[in-house]
Structure 1
Amino acid sequence: MSQTERQKMQAGDWYCCIDSELSVLRHQARLAVHQHNHRAPDPSEPLSSPLAALFAEHGQNCLIETPFHCAYGINITLGHQVYMNSGCTILDSAPVRIGDRTMLGPNVQIYCAQHHKDKALRAEGLEIAYPVTLGSDVWIGGGVIILPGTSIGDGAIVGAGAVVTRDVEAGVTVVGNPARALPR
């Protein structure tokens, strides 16, 4: 029995993103994101109900400022007290895990998908997705881009505007494009 494109995506295999089931999931995410982005602020509900229902898991006291965007939402897991400033985008074709007390500055972008390098296969929508993990107590500066398959260790800091192309060790500060560690 052949796998669906969603099953291939979830297994970390090459899949076609131009697929009716995946389109339905992206549409559900767009609806939840739209509701989140157009709701009145409610201090008693730090994580909006639409996003709370969409995400795979979430801890207590998470706050996501508007506007926010995600591709599927179902692959996002938040720890406790996660904060995302305005303009964050998570293209969660693979699992995205964000640890406790991690803060994302404005306009942080997390990408999981990598399109095929062969132009004909790319034109057919073939891509593969790699997970992204942010540990606990991580600080991601404004405008950071985090590329597919990277992990950022507990307590690390990523300076504003950095492009994270490879793993960042716990407790390390990285800056630049590509992101490189600052001397300790």
Structure 2
Amino acid sequence: MTRSTRLNADYLSDAELAALEWGALGSNVRIHATCVINNSDRIFIGDNVRIDPYCVISVGSRLTIGSFVHIATGVSILGAGEVTVSNFAGISQGTRLISSTDDFSGRAMTGPLVPDDLKAVIHGPIVIGEHAVIGANTIVLPGTKVNDGATVGALSLVNRDLEPWTVNAGIPARRVRDRDREPERLAQDLRLRLRPSDSREG
């Protein structure tokens, strides 16, 4: 099927990916051609990663994406703070990871076209832990950590750290219950499956 009949269904080819200047780029990385990526030299990506259509990634500091990570359609990763998306994490459709925000209290001006000395922008790192899942259209604010194994329901607001292996939801997101830790065991099985064979012929 040609590009013209596929319309905008294409992911970037290996050559197109290689033409960008990355901090690091692993193997089997698929990024859709409709994604907007700013400052790719500050982006470090592991193996087996897929970034779906219409994502906007504008990195001011550093973005680290681990291995076996899926970033779904329409996700935005914005701001000057450092962002880490760890191994096996999932970021669902329409989620916003916002590592910088204006001060809306009225003590300063707001907006990207206003001189910096007249603003009071808040920056903070965001960490999405291993096996964490962020539900669709959730907003994650600066200075927060979604710890390993924590999940966040759709349409939630994360404005504080979430405990490991918990299910969370709401505005703001709060713990609903504990989450089973079976993904940890399954990840170990996967690592063993992917480990190169050290058997030798006699």
TM-score normalised to structure 2 length? 0.64
Matched, 1:59 2:42: no
Q: Does 2:155 match 1:172?
A: no
When Rg is computed on C-alpha atoms for both structures, the one with the higher figure is 2
- 1:119 equivalent in structure 2: 106
Question: Any unmatched runs of 5+ in structure 1?
Answer: 1-37
Q: Which of 152, 162, 171 does residue 158 from structure 1 map onto?
A: 152
Q: Which range is displaced more, 95-104 or 107-116? A: 107-116
Deviations 1:72-111 (A, max 9, x none): 2652110111101100001131000010010111000011
Give the length in aligned residue pairs.
147
Q: Is the 8 A contact 2:11 2:30 kept in 1?
A: no
Q: Aligned match of 2:10 in 40, 55, 76?
A: 40
RMSD of aligned residue pairs (Cα, Å): 2.5
Cα distance change, pair 65–73 in 1 and its aligned pair in 2 (3 A): farther
Cα deviation, 1:91-139, whole Å, max 9, x if unaligned, reads 1310000100101110000111132355363243331300000011111
- RCO higher in 1 or 2 (8 Å CA, sep ≥ 6)? 1
SS of the residue 2:44 aligns to: coil
Identity, % of aligned pairs? 24
The structure richer in helix per residue is 1
Residues 46-55 or 148-157, more deviating:
46-55
Compared CA separation, residues 117 and 145, structure 1 to 2 (3 A): closer
Deviations 1:35-57 (A, max 9, x none): xxx68225865334995944431
TM-score, normalized by length of structure 1? 0.70
Task: Identify which of 102, 106, 129 aligns with 2:123.
Answer: 129
State how far apart, in whole Å, the 2-side matches of 1:103 and 1:85 are.
8
Matching residue within 57, 65, 70 for 2:57:
70
Question: Unaligned regions of 5+ residues in structure 2, if any?
Answer: 1-7, 15-27, 111-117, 179-202
The aligned residue for residue 100 of structure 1 is 87
In structure 2, how many angstroms separate the alpha carbons of the residues matched to 1:61 and 1:122? 42
Task: Give the Cα separation in 2 of the matches to 1:118 and 1:139.
Answer: 31
| Matched-pair contact (CA < 8 Å) for 2:129–2:146 | yes
Q: Which has the higher strand share?
A: 2
